[in-house]
Amino acid sequence: MKQIDGRYFRTLVIVAGVALLNGGCTIARWYAGVPLRGDPAVLVKGQSTKGDVLELFGPPTQITHQTDGDAFIYAYDRWNYSSLTVVEPITGQRVFTYTRGFNNRDRLVVLFDYFGIVRGVAVEHATQQMPPL
């Protein structure tokens, strides 16, 4: 009869042990809004209009009305989550859980004066920094 190598036997035992454990894996992605369609750097304070902003970025997520003009707010949120759980099959006790989650967002705020001319632009791009799951 052929003798089994010790490393091969240990590997076989580990694989069999893992096969006996139940587990679950969850991957979730939640996105709200739409990515920014244009480059905010092309907006010129004192020259660009509401029409220019709407043509470049489309309808805003939110419009706020102020006493001296309006503000268009564009928002895009990304949330990525993954989880791995290993459960002992006989007792149902959780043996191990690993979770990983990332939440980033892009924001663009464009301030207009009373006549609809751009008077300020603020932008935050953070969704590009998200690592893959």
Tokens representing 65? 């009305």
pLDDT at 3: 58
Q: DSSP readout, 103-117?
A: EEEEEEEEEE-TTSB
Mean pLDDT score, 1-9: 61
CA-CA distances (angstroms) from residue 129 to 102, 123, 133?
10, 15, 12
Tens digit of each residue's pLDDT (9 = 90 or more) over 84-96 = 888 887 788 888 8
> What is the pTM for the complete model shown?
0.65
82 closest CA partner among 22, 131, 29: 29
